[in-house]
């Protein structure tokens, strides 16, 4: 009898620990796997332009640092093309931003495993290395948040869910909001990122990546609007 009671106590204790772990995990990282369109008004576009005042169009060679052999601005579109297995190739804002929101229309093409990302608050050493937040673009990674060069993956959005959101070889919309350590992002109207990771930079440049590796990546950005937020 005492043995049965002891085993029952162990089972109950394990169940309590499991429930507590799930609760703590849910509290630390919000579930963003729902497919409901919850896009805020500030993320809505009319004729590919954000509504409201205060938005800055970043698609201007005077506003960006870039390598002209990999990135070009033509007809209002930033075009990146890379087939380099040894290095990344970034383009990023000349200005440093802390709290802001951004509307981005981006198309990624090339090989099946082409990979890129929107980079927030990055601290670039050069055009190959830039540590900071990365909102991913690419098969199996769309809608995810990682920290390049530091913590790695922070919030992974399920690939199957992302495949239902992403329009292949077409423009996809990211609305991003960064306020303090709170990072939110909507992919084609659906929230995929809601993170409060406190180990990341609180300011930095904003830009895009052509990821290195044995793959050909092509990126086109026809909307890149940024608006600073006041605390």
Residues 116-154 have pLDDT tens digits of 999 999 999 999 999 999 999 999 999 999 999 999 999
Confidence band, pLDDT 50/70/90 cuts, at residue 32: confident
Closest by Cα among 104, 21, 91, 117 to 57:
104
Mean pLDDT for all residues in the chain = 88
CA distance 226 to 205: 12
Task: Compute the C-alpha angle 100/105/110, nearest 5°.
Answer: 125
Residues 64-96 have pLDDT tens digits of 999 999 999 999 999 999 999 999 999 999 999
**Does pLDDT of 100 surpass 60?**
yes
**Does pLDDT of 164 surpass 80?**
yes
**Residue 134 in contact with residue 145, Cβ under 8 Å?**
yes
Confidence band, pLDDT 50/70/90 cuts, at residue 231: low
The per-residue pLDDT for 27 is 35
Tally helices (H) and strands (E) across the chain. Answer: 2, 17
What is the percent of the chain where pLDDT is above 90? Answer: 77
Q: Dihedral sign, CA of 57, 60, 65, 69?
A: positive
Cβ neighbours of residue 213 closer than 8 Å, sequence gap 6 or more: 85, 113, 115
């Amino acid at each position: 009898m005492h043995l049965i009671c002891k085993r029952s106590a162990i089972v109950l204790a394990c169940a309590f620990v499991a429930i507590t772990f799930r609760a703590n995990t849910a509290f630390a990282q919000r579930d963003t796997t729902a497919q409901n369109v919850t896009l805020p008004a500030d993320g809505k576009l009319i004729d590919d332009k954000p509504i409201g005042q205060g938005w800055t169009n970043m698609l201007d060679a005077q506003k960006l640092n870039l390598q002209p052999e990999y990135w070009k601005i033509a007809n209002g579109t930033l075009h990146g093309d890379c087939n380099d297995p040894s290095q990344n190739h970034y383009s990023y804002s000349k200005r440093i931003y802390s709290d802001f929101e951004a509307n981005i229309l981006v198309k990624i093409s090339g090989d099946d495993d082409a990979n890129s990302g929107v980079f927030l608050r990055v601290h670039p050493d050069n055009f190959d290395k830039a540590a900071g937040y990365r909102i991913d673009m690419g098969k199996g990674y769309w809608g995810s948040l990682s920290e390049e060069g530091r913590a790695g993956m922070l919030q992974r959005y399920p690939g199957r869910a992302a495949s239902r959101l992403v329009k292949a070889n077409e423009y996809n919309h990211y609305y991003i909001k960064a306020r303090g350590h709170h990072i939110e992002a909507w992919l084609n109207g659906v929230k995929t990122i809601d993170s409060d990771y406190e180990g990341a930079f609180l300011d930095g440049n904003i830009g895009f990546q052509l990821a290195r590796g044995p793959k050909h990546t092509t990126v086109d950005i026809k909307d890149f609007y940024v608006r600073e937020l006041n605390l």
